[in-house]
Amino acid sequence: MTDAAGLAPTGPDRAWSFETLDPRARWGMRLRALLHVLVLLGVGLGVLLAVVTKLDVAVPGVAVALALPAALAVAGALALAYAAARWRRTRFALTPQGLRIRRGVWWRSDTLVPRSRVQHIDLHRGPLDRRLGLAGLRVFTAGSELGRINLNGLPVARAEALRDALVQGDDHGL
């Protein structure tokens, strides 16, 4: 079995393979990205209207009103594409050493959370996660720069199984 880069696990990691996030997480990521776009465009529009009002110029106001739908469409399309790429590039594996997470669209990271460093794990579910039947893990670690690692977009049963396996120190059946 090979990992996402085509490399076979070696040594004690021979049995693990990377898993993808739940397909429902793609929708959650898309909705969050669109919400961020709407908030940013709303703030930008407010600032722009304040400047236009301060200058007391009618022509830029009309230009803003005409450009807003185009800006919203472009920003929305970029946000949807980024969310889809983020979903595709997030992978995780439960290994005998701990939880390994690979993610990143432009800047990639490969994080291994050793079981010996895990202090506690929280399962969290926001309103959108509950609606989609998803959960996320917050893994708190000891003695590291990254005191908390998040892994979102998991089915609830899988998140609970990962939490239990990390805390108990076994990975049988996972």
Contact of 96 with 174, CB cutoff 8 Å: no
Question: Average of pLDDT values for 44-60?
Answer: 70
The chain-wide mean pLDDT, for the chain, equals 82
- pLDDT tens across 65-94, in order? 677 778 888 888 999 999 999 999 999 999
- What tokens does 133 get? 């039947």
Helix/strand/coil for 139 = strand
Does the pLDDT value for residue 96 go beyond 90?
A: no
Non-local (6+) Cβ contacts of 155 within 8 A are 22, 24, 133, 134, 135
First-to-last alpha carbon distance for the chain, in angstroms, is 15
Q: How far apart are CA 168 and CA 174, in angstroms?
A: 13
Binned at pLDDT 50, 70 and 90, residue 101 comes out as: very high
Residue 8 has pLDDT above 50, yes or no: no
pTM of the model: 0.74
**Percentage helix, strand, coil, to 5, in the chain?**
50, 25, 25
Residue 34 has pLDDT above 60, yes or no: yes
pLDDT tens readout for residues 113-155: 888 888 889 999 999 999 999 999 999 988 766 688 899 999 9
**What is the residue extent of each domain of the chain?**
25-86, 92-168
Higher pLDDT, 174 or 27: 27
Question: What is the Cα–Cα distance from 121 to 139, expressed in whole angstroms?
Answer: 5
- Residue 49: pLDDT over 80: no
